[in-house]
Amino acid sequence: MSTREEHIRSILQRLPESPGSYQYFDEHGTVIYVGKAKNLKRRVSSYFNREHDSRKTAILVSKIHDIHYTVVKTEAEALLLENQLIKQFQPRYNVLLKDGKSYPSIAVTKEYLPRIFKTRHIDRKGAIYFGPYSHIPTINGLLELFKNLYPIRRCHQPMSKEGVETGKYKLCLEYHMKNCLGPCVGYQSHEEYMDYINASIRILKGDTAALRKEMLAQMQELAAEMKFEEAQVIKRRYELITAHQEKSQIITSTGHNIDVFSIDNDERIAYINYLHVVEGAINQAFTFEYKKKLDESKEELLVRGIMDMRDRWGSEAKEIVLPFPVELPLNDVEITIPMRGDKRQLLALSELNVKQYKIDRLKQQDKLNPEQKAVRLMKEIQDHLKLPSLPIQIECFDNSNISGTDAVAGCVVFKKCKPSKADYRKYNIKTVEGPDDYASMQEVVRRRYSRMMEEGTPLPDLIITDGGAGQMSVVRAVVEGELGLQIPIAGLAKDDHHRTHELLYGNPPMTVALKPDSALFRLLTQIQDEVHRYAITFHRDKRSKSQLRSELDTIPGVGPKTKQALLKAFKSVKRIKEASEEELSKVAGEAKAKAIRNYFAQRNSSSANNELNK
């Protein structure tokens, strides 16, 4: 046993069976993971007493050289401590809130004469912040509202009480434009200026209902005192705030504050949406990301998101609306999982936002890195079908015939999820008579992969048949039974409306669950539509050529040039049949015109005799 293993085993033996937080250290003494546990001994020991399905967890365990732990009284305290330590150490294997620097916030400075402005730089010591705002028009609308409501200074110069009292500052252009009342030189009292700032902060916090109520009372009081001009100023501000509130989306008649969270995720990233509702209106809406480090569950990620968001924005809402129950270390907070009503609509709005954010992020990533999209789709196929490797080359087959005549097949090739048209192949069915799709499919597959084996051409990573379990079975009989190849085989079945319906895989074939609106389902639909288009176009071309050949190419003395000249002159075979010998001779000459007329006369006579014999 190595020194590392002995050290860890000794720690495991003395771990208490109590709630607490534990920290894993690497060989350099760096914290690489922080966790919480209801029972420290049981939880930490589980990392070392079994094989891990997750490769990431196995890698984490291999890097652990030391373990520290802190005992607390309850699991709730353990979660709070874990949250604090993660922020402190930023461990490599913990999920971390993605930095919101790309989104602006509204800053209210902590100066003697505070300023309000938009910023992407966060300095908690110098200002209080509201946001970040992912919807830029929202933040611009708020700043425009403050501009119209209150003449708050817009200059960038830091101002102190001493500077104002000693006459250090001078009036600027903003004062002369009536955008500022000159608090820097004492023209406006500090008390009145701070009233404007505090009113703006109340609006940012969503406390507009109470603010409007106070304004209404103030208006009535001023009117009673015959101070109509001052009442008119208050009225204008009241109307501006009312208009702003009406633009906010009113969700529920509930009077108290509510936090709403929803989550969506994929293999690498969890997306969490947060809505803060004040007095029935959305006051804050933000979607953020966690990059998964281990095999974290949705519940764990959602709890982490709730703790981070409430801490970031200082939310004290006593009710949290969630899509499913979780254990939170928060006292006097009610968790609601709504099934109907206003709160269910509120949750649905949050879920809509998180799904749209996820779609937008994926589109953005795909636009910046198309190769990444292809790899993601191939990885999805690999995971859904549990393939041994990425399906870099996918081949799909389809047959086309009418009652067995002019039977053909097509093979389309997709490389890295893109059609590789240079590798498409057409096949005339040679050994099958009559409408036998299974035998036709076997012939084509046999011919294609026998030749690829002979030529040493790279074989596909996945074969898809345009059909269900039957097609998959006959293709497997050739690929595995006759040729001895181990190539995964899937099938795409269509519904009654001839639309891609489901993906089948396995032996016996089973339906693979796919979301119809997913990028993977759209890719499979594209593959199926492409192979169908390719096969049926080839069949139509062949049938068209066959019809022309049967009518003109069998006439003695009529060659390709004569046929081309006749079609150019008469436009169709039907008109050639109806043309007189004189009309035909002008294009093909007298001898060929006579031969053409005799040929069609004999065909008509034979058809008439056949009808009589019936």
Q: How many other C-beta atoms lie within 10 A of the C-beta of residue 495?
A: 9
Residue 403 reports pLDDT greater than 70: no
Residue 274 lies in a domain: yes
pLDDT score for 255? 54
193 or 364, which is more confident: 193
Residues 404 and 526 in one domain: yes
Assess contact for 126 and 174: CB atoms under 8 A: no
Indicate the average pLDDT of the chain.
82
pLDDT score recorded for residue 69: 87
Quick check: is 57 in a domain?
A: yes
Summarize the confidence of residues 542-568 as an average pLDDT. 72
CATH code of residue 299: 3.30.420
From 179-193, 336-350, 356-370, the region with the lowest mean pLDDT: 356-370
**Residue 473: which CATH number?**
3.30.420.340
Give the lowest-confidence range in 168-172, 201-205, 282-286, 414-418. Answer: 282-286
In this prediction, residue 480 has a pLDDT band, given cuts at 50, 70 and 90, of very high
CATH number of the domain within which 64 lies: 3.40.1440.10
User: Are residues 82 and 136 both part of a single domain?
Assistant: no
Of 542, 570, 597, which residue sits at a domain end? 542
Q: Examine the pLDDT at 320 and tell me if it is beyond 70.
A: yes
CATH code for position 594: 1.10.150
**What's the pLDDT score for residue 284?**
72
Helix (H) or strand (E) holding 309: helix 298-313
Instruction: Give the end of a domain, one of 46, 63, 89.
Output: 89
CA–CA distance, 264 with 354 (Å, rounded to integer): 7
Residues 398, 440: Cα–Cα separation, whole Å? 10
Residue of 287, 292, 300 lying closest to 269 (CA atoms): 292
- Whether pLDDT at 169 is above 80: yes
Q: Residue 251 in contact with residue 345, Cβ under 8 Å?
A: yes
**9 and 45: one domain?**
yes
Task: For the chain, state the CA radius of gyration.
Answer: 38
Confidence of residue 152 (pLDDT cuts 50, 70, 90): confident
Question: Is the pTM value of this prediction over 0.85?
Answer: no
Token representation of residue 270: 């969890």
Distance CA 510, CA 495 (A): 16
Query: Bridge partners of 273?
Result: 262, 287
Indicate whether 401 and 355 sit together in one domain.
Answer: no
For residues 537 and 560, state if they share a domain: no
Strand, helix or coil for residue 167:
coil
At 444 the pLDDT is 92
Summarised one tens digit per residue, pLDDT across range 287-315 is 888 888 877 888 989 998 898 888 877 78
CB atoms within 10 A of CB 82: 25
Percent of the chain with pLDDT over 70: 87
Same domain? For 393 and 532 the reply is yes
Q: Which of 181-213 are b and which e, b meaning 16 or more Cβ less than 10 Å from the residue's Cβ?
A: bbbbeeebeeeebeebbebbbebbbbbbeebbe
**Highest mean predicted confidence (pLDDT) among 247-251, 290-294, 389-393:** 389-393
Q: Say if residue 609's pLDDT is above 60.
A: no
Q: Among 30, 62, 89, which residue terminates a domain?
A: 89
Whether 279 maps to a domain, the answer reads yes
For residue 253, is pLDDT > 70? no
Contact between 460 and 389 under an 8 Å Cβ cutoff? The reply is no
In a domain, 573, yes or no: yes
Weakest mean pLDDT among 233-237, 270-274, 578-582: 233-237
Contact 509, 491 (CB under 8 A): yes
Q: 101 pLDDT exceeds 80?
A: no
356 domain residue, yes or no: yes
Highest mean pLDDT among 36-40, 100-104, 142-146, 559-563: 36-40
Burial of 461 from C-beta contacts in 10 A (0-12 / 13-18 / 19+): buried
Same domain for 391 and 521, yes or no, is yes
Q: Are residues 394 and 492 in the same domain?
A: yes
Tell me the mean pLDDT in the region 353-382: 79
Place of tokens 């050994």: 431
pLDDT at position 250 over 50:
no
* Same-domain check for residues 109 and 160: yes
pLDDT at residue 98, rounded to an integer: 65
Alpha-helix runs per DSSP H in 23-177: 40-46, 55-63, 75-89, 136-149, 161-165, 173-176
Asked whether residue 1 carries a pLDDT value surpassing 70, the answer given is: no
Instruction: Tell whether 534 and 386 lie within a shared domain.
Output: yes
Highest mean pLDDT among 287-296, 474-483, 550-559: 474-483
Q: Considering the domain boundaries, does residue 249 fall inside one?
A: no
Q: Quick check: is 248 in a domain?
A: no
Token pair for 575: 């008109």
User: How confident is the model over 40-59, as a mean pLDDT?
Assistant: 82
Residue 218 included in any domain: no
pLDDT of residue 89: 84
125/21 same-domain check: no
Per-residue pLDDT band for 32 (boundaries 50, 70, 90) equals very high
Domain span at residue 341 reads 258-365
Count up the domains in the chain and report the number: 5
Q: What number of other Cβ atoms are within 10 A of residue 63's Cβ?
A: 15
Range of weakest confidence among 197-211, 234-248, 277-291, 466-480: 234-248
- Same domain for 537 and 559? no
pLDDT of 76: 74
Tens of pLDDT along 438-461? Answer: 898 999 999 999 999 999 999 999
The DSSP bridge partners found for residue 260 are: 275, 321
| d(C-alpha 181, C-alpha 300), whole Å | 52
